[in-house]
Every structure is written in structure tokens, then in C-alpha cells.
Structure 1
Amino acid sequence: MALPQGPLEHRYRGEHPVRTLAYLFREDRARLLVAVLAFGVKHSPVWLLPLVTANIIDIVVEQRPISDLATNIAVLTVVLALNYPMHLLYIRCLYGSVRRTGTGLRSALCRRMQELSIGYHSRVSASALQTKVIRDVENIETSVQQSSDNGLNAVMTLAGGLAVIGLRVPAALPAFLIVVPAAALLVQRLRARLRSHNAQFRREVEQLSSRVGEMTSLIPVTRAHGLERTAVARVDGSLRSVLTAGLRLDMLNGHFGALAWILLQALGIGCLALAALVAYYAWLPMTPGDVVMLSTFFTTLTASMTVLMGLTPIITKGLESVRSLGEVLEDPDLEVNDGKQRIEKVGGRIDFERVGFRYDTEGQAAVTGFSLSVAPGETIALVGASGAGKSTILNLLIGFIRPVSGRITLDGRDMATLDLRSYRRFLSVVPQESVLFEGTIRENVGYGLETVDEEQVRRALRDANALEFVDRLPSGLDTVVGERGARLSGGQRQRLAIARALIRDPRILVLDEATSALDTRSEALVQEAMSRLMRGRTVFVVAHRLSTIRGADRIVVMDQGKVLEIGSHEELMRGGGAYARLQKNQLG
């Protein structure tokens, strides 16, 4: 199935969500029209049946020719036979349009998330974005489907019924136009009184969900302190509250449901009695069949009006989901690369020229006046206390954020003028927590590469000191690592991350606390692998353990976004400055 082409997000500018929905379905207007026509044909028995029933009663009472009976039965049989193919046509056109639009929306959201800046992703949680892609789009699909099914049902019934009444008993039409909406409003008012109780029950269920989530997350602590009974008692309290609220809601639903049904039936009986009196005393020209028809239509049309009034929560939920998606699709915090110079080759020279950056326009600067010239193939280590600005420098280097002042150049070209997507093809990052996806080792190591053979993968794994444990796994390269690499140890995951970097042969390498979470043996294996990875490349290293960066060409010591001193390990130790004090504190 072909997906909608081109971005959808350019239409999201705070417009009314109904207009947005109309735009989303623009390519399926013809299908939607066919769906409405098909629904009209398939639904026609609902309003034709009272008319045919009235005709048959009159044929029997007035002793008309039996051929009239056959004609009415034939008409009803034909429209009943058409219901099946028309229903399938309706489902194919309407539901197909809804599914295609939902798929297009999810695709647009995923594309937009790839275009939004890292700053946006640091502000908005991944679970919230996942909810928008899955639940909000599902809400829109469900809302459109239910609104179409129930709304078209009600509208077609009302239109058909009122048309039949207008043609058959025109004198009764004004009464129906007044009484039917009034009756539907009364029924709706009765049901509306349940909303507050439904909201109370929902809050109790949400509280229970929170308690269960809390209990599961605290199981290690609970077990360690022998507090199982206390934890279960807390959940049992919420369970009792949900039980009480649920039983109360069920009883209220029963009361109001019965009252609404009695009211509707009583009004129907009143309509039947009134129609019978009108026919009996000949106040209006009305046949016995008309009496039955009007009584049937009163109940049917009142129910249809009630359905239309009850669609409001469904429609509101769908429109709110459209607004929720708009928060992502119209957010201006984008990384713009279109029209900028593409990078075809990278030498590896990086120059920071009095670079400044702040995350909050009114807050303290994260980096101030940072200047550094890095030659191709040089290894630079960034050290300093937490909050010194090390991670900010790495994010500026990768292009996740842009300098507020100063500039960064790559091989003499201002990075603000470059297509960062093409630049990142020559860059690899090994983070503190390696990011693996649910897939095989082969897929994780070769992630993003169009063609990669087994020998390349094995060579990268060998250089990353990972081949020895991969070959011991039951399925070797085809072993599934689990979600986020859950089936591997921390050291194994990190060596796979290094293999992923090696196979790309990057010119610029970023190592962000790559060994801080490892035990001594794993750290030794990873350090050996990283030494191979760093050869001949421009490398930026952030490390908490100063022992891991002694071999760097230069060490940059930072504090509160500023450079305190720069030099090799030996030079800085001889100087007795900030770096020497950090070394002393760690060794001491």
C-alpha cells in the first residue's frame, strides 16, 4: 500500500482541528462520497420498513389488490439484498481512508521527530511522543469511524424518516420537528447526570494504576525490607475504592438507564395514542397504517437524535488528539539542513572560535568564550566537574545545538552553513550507555549501512574485542540482543557500540564517558578496543576517570563553561593547577 507522499506538517498552524481533518482526508474525498452513498443505500431499510409496514396494513384493512402486497415485499427484499454489498463498499471506502490517513499521520510524526532539534527532545519525554504516535492517532481513527458509523446512521434515519412523514402525512411533520428533539433532549439530560460519577470512577482507576506502578517499581526495595504485606495493603485499599465506586456507578447506570427507557417508551405510547385519536376522529386524513408508521418513527427518530447528541464526547476526544499531534507537527524547533552545503569529505580539523552557548535565554551560560583548534588526528580530552560544560561542547561538535555566539568550523568551513546530516556520516559517537535496538548483533553493528558483508562485521567485532563473546553465543551474529541490549552485559554492549563505530570508519570520533559504568576487566577490554578505534582519527573524549585520558594529545580542563588550562598530562601535572588537583583528589 502506498503511503501519502510529502510532509503533512505544513498545514498545522493552530487552525481549527475540523479544518485540519478535512485537509488530512483531502485525497480520499471521492472515496468518502462513495462511502456516504453506499451507507445511504445499505441503511434505507431502517426508514423504509415503517413505510412498507404502513402500506401492508392499509392493503389488508382496505382490501387492496394482492399485487400491491407483492410489490411492497419485493421493494423491501431488494433493499435488504443490497445491504451486504453496500456495507462492504462502505467499510472499504471509509475505513480504508481512515487507515491510510492514520498511517500518513504516523509517518509525518516520525519524520517530524527526526527533524526536531535535540533540544526539543530533551524537553519532551520519549513516552509522551510515543503516546502521540500510537494513542492519539488511534483516537483520531476511532473517533472518525465511530462518528461516521453512528452519525451517518442517525442522520440517514432522521432524513429518511422525516422525508417519508413529509410525503405521507405532511400535517404531522411540524409536531415531529418539535417533539422528537425535545424528547431526545430529555433522555440526554438524564444520561448527562452520570458524567460526574463516571469521572469519579475514572479517577479511582487512575489512582489504582498509579499504586500498581509504584508497587512494581518498588518490588526490590519491598523484598529487601520484608514489606510485602504493607505493599499489598496499599494496593488493596485502592482496589476497595475502585470496587465501591464501580458498584455505585453500576447502580446509577441501572437507575438512569431504566428511567430513560421508561420515559422514551411512555412518549412513544403517547405518540401512538395521539395518532390513534387523530385517525379515529378524522381530525386529519390518516390511515391505520399511518398511525403505526408515526408511532414507529417517533421511537426511531428520537433514538437517532439521542445518538447525535451523544457523539459530542467521541468527537471532542478525536479533535483533542488532532490538537495534540499539532503540538509536534507545528513546533518550530527544527534542525534545518535543506539548501545548505553538503559534505563529501572530512579532513578532521575542528576550530572553536570564542563559542558561547546557554540553554535558557535568562539562565547562566553553559559555555563562555570557548576557543580551541584541533588538528586532524589529534585526541582531545575534556575534564572538569559536573556542570563544567563538557557535554555541551560535545553537543555543539555533533551539531545537536548551535552556538549562541562565536562559531565552529570544520576544515575551515563554518558549520552553520553545512548540511549536518552529511557531516554526521563522517562522525561516530560511543556514549556512556550504548544504545542497541531489538534485533540481531549483525543488524546492530551494521545499523544504517546499505551494504555490509559478514567479513566487515566480524572484522569490526574483532577490533572491538567483541568477537570472542559473540562466537560463544548460540546463534553467533544472528543472536537477538533484546530490547536496548538487555540480554548482554554492560561491557558487551559497549564493545558492540565500538564495533558499530569502527565499521563506519569515521573521521571524527566522540567518546562520552564510554567506560565509566564498567567493571575493571570490561574496562580493560573496552580501552584496548578504543585505542584501535582512535588511531588516525580526530577524537574528543570525556572521561570521569582521569586515568583513562592520560594518553590524550591535549587535555582541556573546564569549569563553569570556561577553559582553565590546556596541555598534555605531563605538562598539566608539572603545572600543579586544576588538573593536578583533580588527579590528587581521585588518587586520594
Structure 2
Amino acid sequence: MRSLLRLWPFVRPVRARLFTAAFVAVVASCVSLVIPLVLKWLVDGPVAAGDTGGVWLGGGFLLLLGLAEALLFGLRRWLVARPLSGVEAAMRAALYRRLQRLPVAFHDRWPSGQLLSRGTTDLQKLRMFLTFPLTFLLVNGVTILVGGVLLVAQRWSLGLVLLSPLLPLLVLCSVFEAKYGRAARVVQDQIGDLTTVVEESVLGIRIIKGFGRHRSQARAFKELTGRLRASELRKARLLAWIWGLNTTLPECALGAALVLGAVQVADGVLSAGTLVAFLSTALALRWPVESIGFLLAMSNEAATATDRYFEVMDEPEVRDAPVADEPGTRDAPVADGPEVRDVPPAGGERAGGDRPRSAPGGLVFSGVEFRYPDAPPDAPPTLQDVTLHIRPGETMALVGATGSGKTTLTALVPRLYDPTAGRITLDGRDLAAIGRDEVRSLVAVAFEEPTLFSATAAENVLMGAADAQEGDLRRALRVAQADGFVDALPQGGATPVGEQGLSLSGGQRQRLALARAVVGRPRFLILDDPLSALDVHTEALVEAALRQVLATTTALVVAHRPSTVLLADRVALLSGGRITAVGTHHELLRDNAEYATLMSGEEEAAR
């Protein structure tokens, strides 16, 4: 009950129709209990007296009662169908909104299949519970109570015999229901795991086929389905015990009442009509009693689904807390730790740089430290005391060995993660004091692994700016050298690119991701090795067009090749989670052995 009561905020808007439907169902169930009373009158009156007209009258009453019961149950179904589908839709929308607002760290540790199963099968179970068990647990309870009163009123000795199994059933059901709830949780978790495997297999089908791993994947899938089957069979066994007990004990009591009633009729102490009415009432109670176990099992599954749903909904969102500005932070240069030597870019001022290099602001990292939330407590931070100043209008290349923390550092700027310690400022404003929506309107990103959605090529690019026009789209495609292949698609920019953009090559996907980053003319641009999948000729064309974009923005570019590094005014070397050197490409190549080693392989290839 504690779990299921958490559904009330979603059910509250449709409570009037639900209560009306429950009332209608109770009335319909009580109508069914009137039928035995009509039978009693019919048997003891017209049938015993041989009154044919009375028999037809009684039959007419029975027909009307049956029609009324059917119509009332139909009305109940009509009352709940539309509002409960709305409840399911509202819960699914709330879950999706929460998933969008939860931090990236949450998605790092949660398998996607578990989230999918919560948004599909779990919510379907909840809708089924609200549609059927929620109402009929009440209806059947009222029916059993009213029917029990009628049984005792008709013949108290037979009524007590028939009601004798109730207490044992309550005890046995409580034992089995607890076990059934645990079994239901195991099954639902296993369905989530199975969904994850299916999703990964579909998304990774090229790898599976390319390495001939379809048989091993099939074996792994078969093992998972085998475990799920075993869990489902355990659930079925428990439900069989519940259903069997709920059927056997009342049937035994009914048989005993029938024998005792027949003896009393033979002795003349009980009329045949009363016995017929008594047995008809008992049969009317047969389904409410037998279904209790089934309804409780469905309720247990719904409670488990509710717990799983709220496991996600209870995850804390990372909310934007206002941070008071320190005196002068908006208008004065930010003191960012150890002084970083300013080296003018090779070739003088870059074309398009309309602000002096001494201007305050830009992108500043001050003593930044970051540790992933799920990292072992004794593990060193991924980033330690990172201090770096990227001046307004400047492009800074970030270079480092694999695992040095480059991607992590770039993820801090759009607030995909927040620093564990230290401070980041955008044009003198503390990043922690800027709302995430505003940050992401100022900062655009292009990741090394481009992610495209099941939409058209144009829609994927325009995700980078909600208010972008057709001219902005064409400009972004030209910058990324993507206009040629996009125009060559069957429907041009209106061509769907398929799930994950798998209908395109790696280089095409990367160019669309780059176009998405530049379409909104962002003030700050973060590029994580955006040209790694391009051939030399296309890379040169993209770099030439990209220089014009970089001239009007403040940019941090993760680079592995000298050709990409040469887009930047200065270079920062990240080693072991720290900035160990800052300067121009030629200076670091001359003075820093680690940097020269990182660049040497590409330098040889360039020669």
C-alpha cells in the first residue's frame, strides 16, 4: 500500500471518474446478489404453486437484473478507459522529463534497457492495476461482505460453514503474496536486463557481424531468457498455489454447506427456495473469493512496478542554485591561480578578432578538480588543480595522451558535470551561478563520437539552435563541408538519416555534428577532436572554413593532429589531469619533450 499510494498525485486529476466507476461496479455487484432473492421467491412461490404466469414474471425480473448488471459493468469500463490511459501517458511524460533533467552521471551508471522497461512494461502494469485490481479489490470486498451478511441472514448455520475458509485464506495469501512480490521484482529487473541486451545487439549489429560473434551473443541471450523463464515459472508456481487454495477451500465449504442444507430440507426445517437462494448467493461469491489471490498478485506486480518507477523519479535533479557574485566578478578580470604566460599567436592577431587580447573574460578554469561520482574513494581525481585562461575570441587547443582527462575537461564547460572543486567562469561569470539552459545557449559542443537521431539531416543540424533559419543551416553545412553530401541525399536535408545516423559514413556523421555545433553562432565553442574521421582533403577544406567561425568565438579544441592544433592560437598540454604547459604549437614542440612525443607520429606522417 505504501508503494501504490505514491500513484495518487497522478490519479488525483481523474479521481471523480474513478470513484464513480467504483461506485457503479459496486452497484452492479450488489445487483448480482439480488438475483438469489428473486430465485428464492420464484421457487417457494410460483414454482411450488404451479403458477406459470408467476414463473414468467420471475424470469423477466431475472433478465432485467442480468441486463442491468451487464450495462453497469460496461459503464464502469467506459468511465475508466480514457482517464487511465491519460494517467499512463502523464506518468510516461513525467519519467521522460526526469530522464532529460537528471545529470549525466546518472545515465553513466544506469543501463538503458532498465530505463526503457520502466517507461514501457512497468507503466503498462500500473495502468492494468488502476483499470482492474484497484476497482475490483474494493468491489469484491464489498460483495463478499454483503454476500456474507445475506448468507448468515438466510441460514446462519450454513453461512458460518461457507464463511469458515476466510481466515485461513487470509493467512495463506499473506504468506504467498510476500513471496510473489519478491519474485515479481526479480522478473521485472530481468526484463530490464534483457531489454538492454537487445538494444545493444541492435545498435552494435555491425560489430557483432563484423567479428562473427552472433553465436556467442545468441548464447548469452539464451542464458538470459532461460533465467527469465525460470523466474516466470517460479511466479507461476506461486500464483498456482494462491489460486488453488482460493479455489479449493471455498469449494470444500460449499460442498459441506450443500450437504448440510440438503439434510435440513429433507428434515423439513429449510425450504427448497431458501436452499436455492443460499447456493445461488454462494455461487455469486465464488468469483470474488477466487479472484482475491489473482488480484493481489497483480497488485504486488503493480507495487513492484511503482517502486521501480519511483527509483528513477526519486533521483535528485541537479538544480541551478543561485550563487552570489563576488565583488567585481562581472566586470573585472578573474584571478585564476598561477599566472599563465601570454604568448601572442603566430602570425600576429587573428583575422576577425575584434577584441584586444588583454580584455577580461573568456573561459577561465581556476584550480578545477573533478572526480567521477562512482570512482573508488582512494582513486586520484581525474582532473587536479586545472588552471587555464582562454581569452575572449581565442582558440585554445587541448592536447594530451589518452586518458589524461581531455574529454572530461571539455564536459565541464556545458555543465554535463560540475567540478568537484575549483571554479570555471564564462566572461567573468561563475559557471555555477549560470542556469544550465543559459549555459547551453552560450556553449556549443561537438563530440568525437557524433550522436545523430532518427530524424532528417536538417533536423539533426538544427538541434544546435532552436531559432536557426534556413540561411543558418546552409552556412553551418558549408562550414562543415557537409552541404555537398546532404544535397546529394534522395530528399536533400529532408532525408531521414536512420537510427544513430547509421545510413551515413563516420565522416559524414562527424560533419553533421560539427554543423550542429556551429549553426547557432555560439559565444563559446567546445570541439572534442571533431575531424578525426575525415580524410586529409576534406579535413583541409573543413579547417579552412572553420577558421572563419573560430575567429568570432572563444573556443577550446581537443586535438591529436598538428593540422588541428594549427587552428589554435595557443596550445595547452594536459598530463595526468593537470595543465603542465601552455604556449604556441612551435614553442611546445621545441621546449616540451612530452608534447613533441605526442606530435611526432603525426609530424612524420605530415612530412
Distance 1:184 1:333, change over 3 A: closer
Name structure 2 gaps, 5 residues minimum: 332-354
Q: Are 1:371 and 2:387 an aligned pair? A: yes
Alignment match, 2:28? 42
Corresponding residue of 2:294: 310
Shift of 1:228: 8.7
Offset of residue 539 of structure 1? 0.8
Q: Which residue of 1 aligns with 2:368?
A: 355
Q: Does the CA contact (< 8 Å) of 1:194 and 1:252 recur in 2?
A: yes
Q: Report deviation, 1:209.
A: 9.9
Describe the SS at the equivalent of 1:352: strand
Q: Which residue number in structure 1 is paired with residue 347 of structure 2?
A: none
After superposition, the Cα gap between the structure-2 partners of 1:191 and 1:450, relative to the gap in structure 1 and judged at 3 Å, is: closer
Select between 209-218 and 94-103 the one with higher mean Cα deviation.
Answer: 209-218
Confirm or deny that 1:117 pairs with 2:103. Answer: yes
- Provide, for residues 358-392 of structure 1, a one-character-per-residue CA deviation record: whole Å limited to 9, x for no partner: 22454312222211121111011111112212122
Change (3 A) 1:274 1:68: same
Q: Is the 8 A contact 2:456 2:496 kept in 1?
A: yes
Q: Do 1:554 and 1:569's aligned partners in 2 also have CA atoms closer than 8 Å?
A: yes
- How far apart are the structure 2 equivalents of 1:460 and 1:270? 84
CA RMSD of superposed structures (Å): 4.6
Offset of 1:25 from its aligned partner?
A: 1.9
Counterpart-to-counterpart distance in 2, 1:250 and 1:137 = 21
Q: CA–CA distance in 2 between the matches of 1:335 and 1:151? A: 41
Which region of structure 1 is more displaced relative to structure 2, 377-386 or 59-68? Answer: 59-68
1:388-399 → structure 2 map (5 Å cutoff) = 388-399=404-415
Using the size of structure 1 for normalisation, the TM-score is 0.81
Range 352-361 or range 201-210, more displaced: 201-210
Q: Is the CA contact 1:446–1:452 (under 8 Å) kept in the aligned structure 2?
A: yes
1:446 maps onto 2:462 in alignment: yes
Shift in CA distance, 547/232, structure 1 to aligned 2, threshold 3 Å: closer
- Asked whether the 8 Å contact 1:162–1:173 carries over to 2, the reply is yes
Distance 1:521 1:294, change over 3 A: farther
* Separation of aligned partners in 1, 2:300 and 2:576: 49
CA distance in 2, matches of 1:578, 1:313: 65
Aligned residue for 2:413, secondary structure, equals helix
Runs of 5+ in structure 1 lacking a partner? 1-14
Q: Distance between the aligned counterparts of 1:389 and 1:233, measured in 2?
A: 37
| Matching residue of 2:271 | 287
2:583 paired with 1:570: no
| Equivalent runs, 1:447-526 vs 2, <5 Å | 447=463, 449-526=465-542
Q: Distance in 1 between matches of 2:102 and 2:197?
A: 35
Amino acid across the alignment from 1:351: V
Q: Structure 1, residues 99-130: CA drift from partner, whole Å, max 9, x if none?
A: 22222222222222222222222222333222
Count of residue pairs brought into register by the alignment: 570
53-62 vs 76-85, which moves further? 76-85
Between the aligned residues of both structures, percent identity stands at 28
Deviation at 1:168, TM superposition (A): 3.2
Task: Report the Cα offset of residue 131 of structure 1.
Answer: 2.2
Equivalent AA in structure 1 for residue 77 of structure 2: I
After superposing the two structures, state which structure 1 stretch, 60-69 or 249-258, moved more: 249-258
Counterpart amino acid of residue 140 in structure 1: L
Q: Provide the rounded CA distance (Å) in 1 between the counterparts of 2:476 and 2:192.
A: 49
Please, which moves more after superposition, 214-223 or 264-273? 214-223
Instruction: For 1:480 and 1:221, locate their aligned partners in 2 and report how far apart those are by CA, in whole Å.
Output: 23
What letter matches 1:270 in structure 2? A
How far residue 425 of structure 1 moved from its aligned partner, in angstroms, is 0.8
1:406 matches 2:413: no
Q: How far apart are 1:572 and its partner, in Å?
A: 0.8
Counterpart pick for 2:49 among 51, 63, 73: 63
CA displacement at 1:349 relative to structure 2: 1.0
Secondary structure, in 3 states, of the residue corresponding to 2:164? helix
User: Please, which moves more after superposition, 548-557 or 69-78?
Assistant: 69-78
Is the 2:394–2:555 contact (alpha carbons within 8 Å) kept by the matching residues of 1?
yes
- The worse-fitting range, judged by mean Cα deviation, of 34-43 and 194-203 is 194-203
The answer on 1:76 being equivalent to 2:53 is no
Letter in 2 for 1:436: L
Conserved 8 A contact 2:368-2:423: yes
Distance 1:54 1:311 in 2: 31
CA contact (8 A) 1:187 1:264 kept: no
Query: Aligned pair in 2 of structure 1 residues 159, 234: CA closer, same or farther (>3 Å)?
Result: closer
Deviates more, 1:347-356 or 1:323-332: 347-356
Partner of 2:132: 146
2:24 aligned partner, one-letter code: A
Residue 94 of structure 2 corresponds to which residue in structure 1? 108
Return the offset for 1:245.
12
Q: Which amino acid aligns with 1:108?
A: A
Cα shift readout 1:245-295 (whole Å, capped 9, x = no counterpart)? 999999999999999978765553332121111222244xx3212212323
Verify the 8 A CA contact 2:105 2:417 in the aligned structure 1.
yes
